[in-house]
C-alpha cells in the first residue's frame, strides 16, 4: 500500500470537483509543466511509491521519490539535448475502474523551439488518488517513441 510522504507532497493546483477528464487533464498539465521546467522534485511529487515503470525491455520497480526525481532529471537533459522544448498531454483513452483509480493513455507530442512536432511518445498511466485525494502515478507503461530528428 502506498504511504503518503508529506516531505514530497506538492499540492497540485486544479479545481476540486471538476469532471474526471478535467481533473486528469489538469494533473497531466501540471506533470508536463514540472518536467519542462526541469524540476525533478516537482515531477516526483506526481508519483506514488512503490510504483512501476514498464517498457518492452524492462520492468523497473520504483521504491523512492528520489529515484523518480533522478530518472526524470536525466530524461529532461536528454530531451533538451535533442532540441525538445515543449509537450502537452493528448488523452487517447481514459477509464476509471474504481473511484480512486484512473487509467489513461496519453500521446505526448515532442515539440521544438518553433513548436514544430519532432515526434511523439505514447504512455499509459495508472493513477491512484492518495490520502489527500490527489492523483499520483502508480505505474507508467512506456509504449514507444516516434522521433524524427531534424
Provide CB contacts within 8 A for 5, sequence distance 6+: 49, 65
**Strand, coil or helix: what is 150?**
coil
| DSSP per-residue letters across 80-94 | HHTT--B---EEEEE
pLDDT in tens, 12-31: 444 444 588 999 999 999 99
Count how many residues are written for the chain.
150
CA-CA distance, 84 to 35, in Å (whole number)?
12
Q: What is the pLDDT of residue 19?
A: 86
Return the H-helix or E-strand segment holding 123.
strand 117-129
Q: What is the mean pLDDT of each run of 10 residues along the chain (150 residues)?
A: 48 55 94 92 95 95 94 89 94 94 96 95 96 95 76
Q: What is the pLDDT of residue 14?
A: 44
pTM of the model: 0.84
Nearest to 44 by CA among 60, 63, 26, 22: 63
CATH hierarchy code of domain 16-147: 3.10.450.50
- Please confirm whether the linkage preceding 50 is cis (ω < 30° from 0): yes
Instruction: Name residue, grid cell 490527489.
Output: 134
Q: What is the pLDDT of residue 2?
A: 43
Amino acid at each position: 500500500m502506498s504511504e503518503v510522504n508529506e516531505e514530497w507532497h506538492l499540492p497540485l493546483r486544479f479545481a476540486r470537483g471538476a469532471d474526471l477528464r478535467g481533473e486528469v487533464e489538469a494533473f497531466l498539465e501540471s506533470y508536463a509543466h514540472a518536467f519542462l521546467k526541469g524540476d525533478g522534485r516537482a515531477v516526483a511529487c506526481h508519483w506514488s511509491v512503490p510504483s512501476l515503470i514498464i517498457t518492452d525491455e524492462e520492468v523497473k520497480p520504483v521504491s523512492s521519490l528520489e529515484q523518480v526525481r533522478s530518472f526524470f532529471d536525466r530524461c529532461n537533459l536528454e530531451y533538451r539535448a535533442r532540441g525538445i522544448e515543449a509537450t502537452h498531454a493528448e488523452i487517447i483513452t481514459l477509464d476509471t475502474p474504481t473511484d480512486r483509480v484512473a487509467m489513461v493513455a496519453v500521446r505526448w507530442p515532442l515539440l521544438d523551439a518553433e513548436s514544430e512536432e519532432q515526434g511523439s511518445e505514447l504512455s499509459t498511466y495508472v493513477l491512484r488518488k492518495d490520502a489527500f485525494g490527489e492523483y499520483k502515478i502508480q505505474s507508467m507503461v512506456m509504449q514507444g517513441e516516434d522521433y524524427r530528428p531534424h
